[in-house]
Amino acid sequence: MATFSQWLRAGCPAKRITWVCGPEQVLADDVVSAICSAVPGGGLHCGQYSAGADPEREIWAACAVIPPPGEQRLVIVRDAHKLRRPGELVPLVKAGREAAGLHLLFVSADADFPRERDGDGKSVLAPHLAALRDSRYGQLIRCVPPKDDDLLDWAARCWPGLGRNAAWRLLEAAGGDLGAVRAAGAKAVATGLLAEKYIPVLGEPPPGGQFAELLVRGDRAAALAAARTAPLAAGSAIGLLDSRLGTLAAIRDGQRRGLEDKDIASRLGVPRFLIGAYRDVAHAYDPARVRACRELLAVADAAWRTGADRGVAEVLAASW
């Protein structure tokens, strides 16, 4: 099993059967693109299916079609977590050289690989994934955000020509949202605006990001102004604020323990660019305030989910 960063450092190998999962869909898309590019003729002889939407018998039938000698075939199964008979993958994993031209890519929306309890009550990988893990022809990739230099290198890959310092600024401009980083890089390539000076222009924060960032920094008036300039994406803002509370609490804890930035990153799991962005405001987020803010977010989230879009920004700004 490998994380996305480990797979990337290994040179993005395209094995015969790949199962991808994890919370970062942007990274899963990277894996799909890399494997499609690596399989000779895969893009031309590619079958794409969606579990839960396409009949499962058709999916497994397509996965079992071995191309003629010398040809390559790629089958992509999205929403693989919805497969009702995942055990049918096992004989495909065990197929030998006769299946050398057949490449299977399963993309799951699960945050982690599914597990089961064995006879002793221990948590183990689901059988179809255990077979894939143990096969020389298979690989399991979990798409979680890269850390530190790996994250900077990934951001630089999204925007050709950027060094790590500029990639840091891109991540800050995008609010740490990997989808926004990827979108900024795509816009830079499409427009030819690849110079670093265009990062503030193209590296837009995620929906609701400007409101959330201003609120975290204590500028309530500016946060409200941002929310009134454009309709607030309340769900995204609430989710980002909740994530930032965890980051701020970790940074404050590290600072109180006298840890340097590199130790906060390695021991507490906070990306370095976020430490740089919030080191000056983290001291204001003691456990009592973090708890109160999380309770406020829970109330705002409940209101938003029942359709109460109006007033969410005002309530958050007034009580933050």
Arithmetic mean of pLDDT, 131-146: 94
Cα gap 111→79, rounded to integer Å: 12
**CA 184 from chain center: how many Å?**
16
User: What does the angle CA 237 – CA 33 – CA 239 come to, to the nearest 5 degrees?
Assistant: 10
Q: What is the pLDDT of residue 230?
A: 65
Arithmetic mean of pLDDT, 65-73: 86
Q: Residue 190: which residues within 8 A CB-CB, separation 6 or more?
A: none
Query: Is the model's pTM score more than 0.85?
Result: no
Tell me: domain 209-319, CATH 1.20.272.10, correct?
Answer: yes
Q: What is the pLDDT of residue 207?
A: 66
Residue 154 confidence (pLDDT) above 60: yes
Cα gap 88→84, rounded to integer Å: 10
Q: Phi and psi (nearest 5°) for 3?
A: -80, 170
Of 150-164, 217-231, 249-263, 294-308, minimum mean pLDDT range: 217-231
Looking at every residue in the chain, the average pLDDT score rounds to 89
Cβ atoms of 216 and 284 closer than 8 Å: no
C-beta atoms surrounding 217 within 10 Å: 15
The domain limits of the chain are: 2-142, 148-202, 209-319
Alpha helices (H) along 107-208: 127-133, 148-158, 164-173, 178-191, 199-202
State the fold for domain 2-142. Rossmann fold (3.40.50)
Kind and range of the H or E run holding 105? strand 102-107
Cα gap 91→137, rounded to integer Å: 12
Q: What is the pLDDT of residue 309?
A: 66
Arithmetic mean of pLDDT, 240-250: 91
Percent of the chain with pLDDT over 70: 96
Cα gap 80→201, rounded to integer Å: 37
Arithmetic mean of pLDDT, 11-16: 92
**pLDDT tens, 84-115?**
999 999 999 988 777 888 999 999 999 999 99
